[in-house]
Amino acid sequence: MLKVDRLGKKYGGRWIFRELSFELGVGDRLVILGRNGAGKSTLLRTIAGLTSRTEGTVMLPEGDSRCTLGLCALEQSVYGQLTVAEHLQLTADLRGCPARIDELLEKVNLDYARSRPASQLSTGMKARMKMAMAIQANPAALLLDEPGAGLDEEGRMLIDQITAEQATRGCLIVATNDPLERRLANLELQLV
């Protein structure tokens, strides 16, 4: 489903990571652990195609990557002037998939803030909105970067629920600093 072969990324003459290989199938949930600056986020971004790779290959799930790949990252920015519902409509229009606004907002428990501009959302609310956008097209591969950051207890339970659902339709990669988030995975990759 998702295959990474001898992947390497070099930036400014320094290797961020090198010789990384793994293959994930349906139901596989991989957690990437490592110290700060180990390259966890860069690895996720490289897999998603947002950063160019220096060597190696990445085979993404079959189909249009706009729909087969979902990414939710802590540092991902959103449009301050657009409301929560408008964000979901925008990403659905661009991906060419159904918007499912009501269903997604109910799932991430953000229905009450659907008409609120993103600039007026808290960090946790933004994280929920980004999660809703990431799972909108039911992606075959879901990439989560620090998914628990900024979330309350209820939000963490939501992450558990979403990752469990993802395991039934595809694979999941979680990059985190938090050892507790190993609970989300059945495989781990320690960047050393």
Partner 1 sequence: MNSSWFREIRAVFMKEWQSEMRSQSGLITGLLFSVVTVYTISFAMLNTKIKGTEVAGLLWVALLFSSASSLPRIFLAEEEQGTAELLRLVARPHSVFWGKALFNSLQCVVTGILLSVLYLGFSGKVVTVPWLFAVCLVAGCLSLAGAVTLCGAIASQAINRAVLSAAIAVPLLLPLVSLGVSGMRVSLNDGLMSDGVGAAIGLVGYACATMATGPYIFAAVWKS
Partner 2 sequence: MGVATAWSFLVPPAKGFQKPEMARIFLWHFPCPMLAVFLLMFGAWSSLRVFQRVTVKPSFSVSPETDHAMKSLWDLRAIAAMELGYLFCLLTMATGILFSEAEWGAWWSWDPRQTSFLIVLLIYAAYFALRFAYTDSGKKAAFSGAYSLATILPTLFLVFVFPRLPQIKNMSLHPSNSIVGGLIKGEYGQCVCLILALVAILTVYLFKLRVRAGLLEIRQENNDGQFEHLGNGSAPTGVVRPVSLP
In the list 13, 36, 62, 153, the residue contacting partner 2 (rule: CB under 8 A) is 13
For 108, half-sphere exposure in the C-beta direction (CA atoms, 13 angstrom radius) is 27
CA distance 85 to 158: 19
CA distance 128 to 107: 9
In the list 25, 27, 31, 96, the residue contacting partner 2 (rule: CB under 8 A) is 31
From partner 1, partner 2, none, interface partner of 31 (C-beta below 5 to 8 A by class): partner 2
Tell whether residue 98 is a contact of partner 1 (CB under 8 A): no
Considering the complex, what minimum distance in angstroms separates the CB of residue 190 from partner 1?
26
Tell whether residue 99 is a contact of partner 1 (CB under 8 A): no
Binding to partner 2 (CB under 8 A) within 64-103 occurs at none
CA distance 29 to 180: 15
CA distances from 99 to 4, 21, 113, 150, 176 (A): 31, 35, 17, 26, 29
Which residues make Cβ contacts (< 8 Å) with residue 10, sequence separation at least 6? Answer: 16, 54
Q: How many CB atoms lie within 10 A of CB 180?
A: 9
Place of tokens 């220096």: 54
Show the binding pattern over residues 138-177: x = contacts partner 1 (CB under 8 A), - = does not. ----------------------------------------
State the residues that interact with partner 1 by CB under 8 A: 48-50, 52, 66, 69, 71, 75-82, 86, 89-91, 93-96, 117, 133
State the residues that interact with partner 2 by CB under 8 A: 8, 10-20, 22, 30-31, 34, 38-39, 49, 52-60, 182-183, 185-192
